[in-house]
Chains A and B, each alone.
Chain A
Amino acid sequence: MSASTALSHEALAEVITRCAGAHTDAAALRDTRPTFDDLDVDSLGLLGIVAELEKTLGIQLGPDAERCTSPGDLLALANAQLRAAA
């Protein structure tokens, strides 16, 4: 698969900020590796983030996506799914 179809830290940070209102950026996700709890993103917030990613990435992420406890885990899961779908 090409790098352009992978989910980037930048794109994930934008979705987290827009859908859950938790301001974050790629550098923060990379460097401090926060959990969703650290960001005060609740379960409905995560649901909205996953739904938005599924729309923009064009794949279903599956039930495990909504159980991810951190943006890092979600990023890894999404990129694994993208590779598998490629």
Chain B
Amino acid sequence: MTRRTVVTGMGVIAPSGVGVDAFWRSALAGHGALGRLSRYPADGYPLTVAGEVRGYDPASAIDTRVTVQTDRFTQFALAAADLALEQARLSPDTLPPYSFGAVTASAAGGVEFGQREIERLWSRGPGHVGPYQSIAWFYAASTGQLSIRHGLKGPCGVLVADESGGLDALAHAARDIRYGTTAMLAGGAEAPFAPFSMACQYGHGLLSEADDPDHAYLPFSDLARGFTPAEGGAVLVLEEEEAARARGAVPQARIAGHGTTWTGGEPHVHSAEGLAKAVLGALDEAGCAPSDVGVVFADGLAHPAADRAEADALRQVFGPALDSLPVTVPKAGFGRAYAGAAALDVTLAALTLRHGLVPPTPYATGTAYDLDLVTGAPRPTDTATALVLARGLAGGNSALVLRAPGH
């Protein structure tokens, strides 16, 4: 029989809140958490507004022997996983060693750590580069440290495909569970605010150069001028449904279907067809019809051609029904955390199914597209099916269908 994957724990570290409760309250309130970029002196550079995690140091949750060898992005992942395991009430050492694994997504890697060590290289010489540089800046560092911290010997992996990779990581974990693994830590977290890392992105033209947080990230608006990047992310505990129920865990949502395509980074018009195919693939795997979907968490790149392509993809799939299908981009309130953004969206989608409220798109006052964009107050819903979309800056288009437990 088919082994199904459910979410039993969610750990969030976001600019808008640490922990699921604070994050959800902030999302429902449509709170805007964007502010002045402060991780490095940003004056004089194009990017000055960002979503930063403030008032919380992930290192506070981690042994100093681990903090000296990890970048902030890995510390976010470790701290988020602790929160997720706590919510799931799952202690990894209660499972057989090879039945618990980890998959994370990363787009930036350990760039703050890396920049610090490279500065030592050119300013003081190779003898001043610490040996932990060899492991801290890798994309795979978070998966590796999660595995070491919790003794996970099951399937492990890391995906590097920007935000679409974040959805793909959850699907990858669900596939591991379908193939026989009992539980997985899956998600992504980022800490991209190193000067060289952001400088590498000035060329793609998608970063918002607005200096006013209220008008920096306005997806689907005629004032859209790019996205505002963020740090943080989420890690989920995924479990095989019967095993989860047998140990008394409460499934919060089910990973029902996933689809992904690749259409190249530019021009964005191609992502319309790619996204539509990804959505149809995800619906097919979930055994759902388009009419089952009651809410869409959109990618929302806030670039006119990209927004147009996403709206076109949704119209292709849903037809006239799109007119009354709630579409939301809660990350407009806290920024787009690259590979961490997808797990944050999936967390919000699971909470939407559970609480019957669609969080709004912060800062937005309306849309220039023929979409029912949720703005202002949260929207009540009784749907059991949510669709989450994510694109990667290099051209990935992914879709994940999440269903309420029991559906």
Given the contacts A21-B69, A44-B69, A45-B69, A51 and B64 also touching, CB distance less than 8 Å:
no
User: How big is chain A's contact interface, by range?
Assistant: 10 to 19
Please tell me if the beta carbons of B135 and A44 are within 8 angstroms of each other in the complex.
yes
Residue B66 CB within 8 A of the other chain: yes
CB distance from A65 to the nearest CB of B (A): 13
Please tell me if the beta carbons of B127 and A21 are within 8 angstroms of each other in the complex.
no
Find chain A residues with CB under 8 A from B63 CB.
21
- Complex interface bits, A11-52 against B, C-beta within 8 A gives 1, otherwise 0: 000000101111100000000000000001100110110010
Please tell me if the beta carbons of A48 and B130 are within 8 angstroms of each other in the complex.
yes
- Identify which of A17, A21, A45, A47 gathers the most chain B CB atoms within 10 Å of its CB: A21
The 9 closest A-B pairs by CB, nearest first: A21-B64, A21-B68, A21-B65, A47-B131, A44-B131, A48-B131, A48-B130, A22-B65, A40-B65
B residues near A, CB below 8 A? 63-69, 127-128, 130-132, 134-135
Please tell me if the beta carbons of A23 and B69 are within 8 angstroms of each other in the complex.
no
Please tell me if the beta carbons of A21 and B130 are within 8 angstroms of each other in the complex.
no
Inter-chain residue pair count (beta carbon < 8 A): 37
CB distance from B268 to the nearest CB of A (A): 43
CB distance from B59 to the nearest CB of A (A): 10
A residues near B, CB below 8 A? 17, 19-23, 40-41, 44-45, 47-48, 51, 54-55
Chain B minimum-CB-distance residue to A54: B127
Chain B minimum-CB-distance residue to A43: B131
Find chain B residues with CB under 8 A from A48 CB.
130-132
Please tell me if the beta carbons of A51 and B132 are within 8 angstroms of each other in the complex.
no
Q: List 18 A-B contacts (CB under 8 A).
A: A17-B64, A20-B65, A20-B68, A21-B66, A21-B67, A21-B68, A21-B69, A22-B64, A40-B65, A44-B69, A44-B131, A44-B132, A44-B134, A44-B135, A45-B65, A48-B131, A51-B127, A55-B128
CB distance from A52 to the nearest CB of B (A): 9
Find chain B residues with CB under 8 A from A47 CB.
131
